[in-house]
Structure 1
Amino acid sequence: MPARCSIRRDHSPSLTGPPAPETVPNLLGWLRACHEGGSILAAVCAGTFLLAATRLLDGRPATTHWSAAARLQQTFPGPQDRS
Structure 2
Amino acid sequence: AVLFVVLGLLVTPSNVLNVWYYSVAIAAFMILIARPIAVYTSVKPFKFKDREIGFISWVGLRGAVPITLAILPVMAGIDNAFM
Normalised by the size of structure 1, how large is the TM-score? 0.29
Which structure has the highest helix share of the two? 2
Larger radius of gyration: 2
Q: TM-score under structure 2 normalisation?
A: 0.29
Relative to total residues, which structure has the larger strand share, 1 or 2? 1
